[in-house]
Amino acid sequence: MGRSVANELLDKSKEAMISAVQIYNNPLIRFKSEMFIITAIISWTYLMHAYYRKKGVEYRYYRQRGQRKKFDKTKNGAYKHWELERCINEEQSPLDKGTANNLRFLIGIRHEIEHQKTDSIDEYIGAKLQACALNYSRELVKMFGEEHNIRDNLSLAIQFSPITPEQESLLRSASEDIIPSNIRNFISTFESELDDEELRSLSYSYKIVYIPMQVNRANQADKAIEFISPENINSKDVERVLIKAVEKQKFLPSEIVKMMNDEGYSWFTMYKHTQLWHEKDAKNKKYNFGVQVAKQWYWYENWVYVVREHCQRSDP
């Protein structure tokens, strides 16, 4: 009986993930990131339930009454099963840290977008969605075997036009303006709590670099994507670019004050900034708002958001 339930859960999980990828790759669908996240979380939840069912781990909520278990139920009589976050926090979870961080990130984004209108966040979090799909493909096979592989269904989306550096800069600055502050704040706070190794993990965020290829032979031009060997010097160059891209941005106090002045808060001075960080004990390591480098203190982006919100509330 347990095996058949696990298989049923597994089938639902695979269907949900395939649907999530198809939704994301459909150029006619708006809010594709939001829809991918919701559907992918359902898929992962079924996958983890199937895994725990297979391993004999009880994934229903219950209270122990002596020797008996009193299972929690909804008002309509259905069992209450573990949500995804509870599944990945379980000691017996098979997921590595990068995969778990990726799922926690998506769960956090889901909480932020559930009751809020969002727009154009695809480019902002796309690397996390790509990692989510690839992680699923890998973990599915690890948990249940190669016969359940759905790799052929998790294809890359096609882009019809190249992006120049100027266009990329415009897209990035535009997305910064469009992304709701609650999502930007969540991402900044979430990633400030990850160390550099966790940030670089491909299981957390999967980045692809597209390089226009100069070819000498006709058959080489048929390759849309080229994978570079780790021993190749070019791959080391690419790694340096990726590491630089995920480094936490750092700001001097004077830069933050100038930023606020440029945004119209001319009354915000270095003195006001010093008052604010003292008031909030912002250099306390537990908040992870900044870092000491040599004798200079630098602030992270999540502190900039705190300063901006303070200016917005206190603007005379």
The reply to whether 146 and 74 lie within a common domain is yes
DSSP secondary structure of 206-238: ------PPP-SSGGGGG-S--PPPTTSHHHHHH
Name the residue with higher pLDDT: 119 or 197.
Answer: 197
Residue 236 in any domain: the answer is no
Residue 125 lies in a domain: yes
Strands (E) across 212-310 are located at 250-251, 290-293, 296-300
Amino acid residing at 64: Q
Query: What is the pairing mode between strands 68-71 and 290-293?
Result: unpaired
Confidence bin at 65 (pLDDT 50/70/90): confident
134 pLDDT above the threshold of 80: yes
Residue 294 in 3-state DSSP?
coil
- In 3D space, the residue among 278, 277, 258, 279 whose CA is nearest the CA of residue 269 turns out to be 258
Residue 221 belongs to some domain of the structure: no
Domain that holds residue 35: 2-200
42 and 142 part of one domain? yes
Confidence class of residue 190 from pLDDT cuts 50, 70 and 90? confident
Domain final residue pick, 180, 200, 220: 200
- Residues 172, 105 within the same domain: yes
| 88 lies in some domain | yes
DSSP state at residue 286: G
Average pLDDT over residues 252-279: 94
∠ CA 75-81-85, nearest 5°, is 125
Return d(Cα 200, Cα 248) in angstroms, integer: 11
Is 77 inside any structural domain? yes
Boundary of a domain, candidates 132, 165, 200: 200
State the CB neighbour count (10 A cutoff) for residue 178. Answer: 12
Residue 81 and residue 60 in contact, taking contact as beta carbons nearer than 8 Å: yes
Q: Same structural domain for residues 186 and 267?
A: no
* 121 in the same domain as 6: yes
Same domain flag for 289 and 163: no
Asked if 189 and 286 sit in the same domain, the reply is no
Q: What is the pLDDT of residues 165-180, one digit of tens each?
A: 544 454 444 444 455 6
Tell me the angle at which helices 270-279 and 253-262 cross, rounded to the nearest 10 degrees.
Answer: 110
Nearest to 239 by CA among 196, 272, 268, 188: 196
Region 143-162 average pLDDT: 66
- State whether 75 and 146 are in the same domain: yes
Indicate whether 167 belongs to any domain: yes
**Among 200, 233, 261, which residue terminates a domain?**
200
Percent of the chain with pLDDT over 90: 37
User: Strand 68-71 vs strand 250-251: parallel, antiparallel, or unpaired?
Assistant: unpaired
Q: Are residue 192 and residue 267 in the same domain, yes or no? A: no
Residue 83, pLDDT score:
95
**Domain count of the fold of the chain:** 2
Q: Are residues 258 and 190 in the same domain?
A: no
d(CA 157, CA 129): 12
What was the pLDDT predicted at 221?
43
Could you tell me if 43 and 172 lie in one domain? yes
| 149 and 298 fall within a common domain | no
227 falls within a domain? no
Task: Check residue 234 and give its pLDDT.
Answer: 53
- The upper half-sphere exposure of residue 108, i.e. CA atoms within 13 Å in the direction of its Cβ, equals 18
How far is Cα 104 from Cα 88, in angstroms, rounded to an integer?
A: 9
Whether residue 162 is contained in a domain is answered as yes
